Amino acid sequence: MPMFHNKPASNSRRRFLRGLAGATLALPTLESLSAAKATASPTLRMAHFYVPIGVVRRAFFPGEAEDVIPKGNLGNVMKSLGRQDPKFSVKPLAELTPTMEPLKPWRDQVTLITGMDRTFQQGTDVHAQCASCYLSSAPPYTIQRSAWPLDRTLDHIVADHVGKQTAFPTLEFSCNSHRDNKESIYFDNISWYGTGHVAPSVRDPRKMYRRLFTTSDIKQYRNITDLVLEDARDVQQTLGYTDKQKFAEYFDSIRAIETQMDRLEQMKAELSQVKLDEPPEAHLPRGEYIRLMADLMIAALQTGLTNVATFMIGPERWDTPFLYESLFDKPRSHHQMSHNQTKMIGDLVKVDRFHMEQFAYLVQRMSGIQESNGSSLLDNTLLTYGSGLGDGSTHQYNDLPIVVAGGGDRVRSGLHINMPEGTPLANLWLTQARLLGVPLQRFADSTGEIKALR
């Protein structure tokens, strides 16, 4: 069952956005508390927008479909005209397919990258692996203690470098509004601290709002750490030399947590002055729910609460249906539709385009937010749309759908970059990590950077 159905939605989201609009006008002054900060270049951030279950290739990739054939009540069906042209490496993004068309107003600020592949590790679930390993890209069979090639993900590696001074090193957003946990955590999370250690995504807008903009949780955490430290000091007096060293490391880790809480408390004291309405506890239509979570992510990036975020549009293989109010009269399962492409291709294309419209909403909002030096939030964010499958029907791991937006003059935009067959997706992650200043020699199974992007 969907969440948030105790109260009618009415104008609650509109009121929230009015409050958010006021906040986004006022908050950039926080970056300008000193003249030095006002003239400094804003930090480059990173955000990943993940789409589950791949896409309908014939409607997403240029050159794979052109003709649209009406087919009864199922909507328009794409007639395949063959594979993409493999003979080019870089060209202007002149053609926008039906799925990518929502990006038309920002075509010069996005780049389509084709030809990126991942390698599937045999013997484990296709959907769990494609989501959980998307941002780690570890080579198959290299992680001995896991059934999946799951390692520390890109967002946390980057946050180790650019997240030390933020209240939250990373933030994980999920638009899975269901409470029936039908699948394991591997289907519903793309962010991992390390093998087997998930960075759990937040699904409830109210919970995320309170995490970002209220201080009650900080007081509870501080009370707990005070009690833990008091007990630890009593125990420490009875320990030997080696155990005392271990306890010293423990105290250091607790102090690091306290330092992080101090930063968060200081920021929230300033943010609390902004009139920002709490999201409603009510059912929201699918598109409004996703855009509300997007608004919260944008606010977190803009205000400096975090420099790194992941945004999962939906879970993998979760057969509980969603009610796509703007598309269908009845709830539909994205996963089940993907395995009936022959009959439901028209409806699947609608879902793919719907997801791209939500990505376009992020691009539009972020491009309209001006930062301290006159650039936009989008100029200072690497925003990546992607999926762990190239096609949800065939479960193919090659030629993944990837769109990179933003980055300003740090990256080349308005292009279609076609990589040679077999290029690891990790090459993109290596490129992005280096763009954010992380001195990596290699990432997972990478073989080099995507030079055409820089």
State mean pLDDT over 182-201: 90
Structure tokens at 24: 């986004």
Contact 151, 194 (CB under 8 A): yes
pLDDT score at 377: 94
Which of the two residues, 395 and 266, has the higher pLDDT score?
Answer: 395
* pLDDT confidence tier of residue 220, bands split at 50, 70 and 90: low
pLDDT in tens, 313-327: 998 887 788 888 888
In the chain, what are the helix, strand and coil shares in percent, each to the nearest 5?
Answer: 40, 15, 45
pLDDT score at 210: 79
| CB-based contacts of 190, cutoff 8 Å, min separation 6 | 48, 50, 131, 132, 134, 135, 153, 201, 310, 312
Per the DSSP assignment, residues forming a β-bridge with 49 are 311, 385
Percentage above 70 pLDDT, the chain: 71
pLDDT score at 334: 85
pLDDT score at 70: 40
pLDDT score at 130: 87
φ and ψ of 142, to 5 deg: -90, -20
State mean pLDDT over 351-377: 93
| CB-based contacts of 453, cutoff 8 Å, min separation 6 | 111, 113, 404, 411, 412, 417, 428, 431
Contact 310, 388 (CB under 8 A): no
pLDDT score at 106: 96
3-class DSSP string for 24-48? HHHHHHHHHCCHHHHHCCCCCEEEE
Strand 197-198 relative to strand 192-194, pairing: antiparallel
| CB-based contacts of 331, cutoff 8 Å, min separation 6 | 321, 322, 323
> In this structure, what DSSP letter does residue 396 have?
B
pLDDT in tens, 285-314: 889 889 989 988 998 898 888 999 999 999
- By C-alpha distance, which of 211, 378, 369 is closest to 296? 211
pLDDT score at 273: 53
| CB-based contacts of 21, cutoff 8 Å, min separation 6 | none
State mean pLDDT over 159-168: 91
pLDDT in tens, 368-404: 988 888 899 999 999 999 999 888 778 888 899 999 9
Considering the entire predicted model, what is its pTM?
0.78
- By C-alpha distance, which of 29, 1, 46, 3 is closest to 292? 3
Lowest mean pLDDT among 159-163, 169-173, 241-245, 431-435: 241-245
pLDDT in tens, 87-114: 678 999 988 999 999 999 999 999 999 9
Cα 41 from Cα 375, distance rounded (Å): 9
Structure tokens at 18: 């009015």
pLDDT in tens, 223-256: 555 665 566 666 666 667 666 665 565 555 555 5
C-alpha 428, offset from chain centre: 15
pLDDT score at 290: 92
Lowest mean pLDDT among 169-183, 205-219, 344-358: 205-219
3-class DSSP state for residue 292?
Answer: helix
* pLDDT confidence tier of residue 276, bands split at 50, 70 and 90: low
- By C-alpha distance, which of 113, 101, 22, 98 is closest to 413? 113
Structure tokens at 307: 């420099």
Cα 82 from Cα 94, distance rounded (Å): 19
Confidence check: pLDDT of 446 > 90: yes
Confidence check: pLDDT of 272 > 60: no
> In this structure, what DSSP letter does residue 183 have?
S
Contact 392, 355 (CB under 8 A): no
* pLDDT confidence tier of residue 205, bands split at 50, 70 and 90: confident
pLDDT score at 281: 60
Confidence check: pLDDT of 442 > 80: yes
Per the DSSP assignment, residues forming a β-bridge with 198 are 192
pLDDT in tens, 400-414: 999 999 999 999 999
Lowest mean pLDDT among 229-233, 358-362, 437-441: 229-233
Cα 371 from Cα 119, distance rounded (Å): 40
pLDDT in tens, 38-83: 456 788 999 999 999 999 998 999 988 644 444 443 344 444 434 5
State mean pLDDT over 203-220: 74
Structure tokens at 371: 């930062």
pLDDT in tens, 11-49: 444 444 444 433 333 333 334 333 444 456 788 999 999
Structure tokens at 64: 């794979």
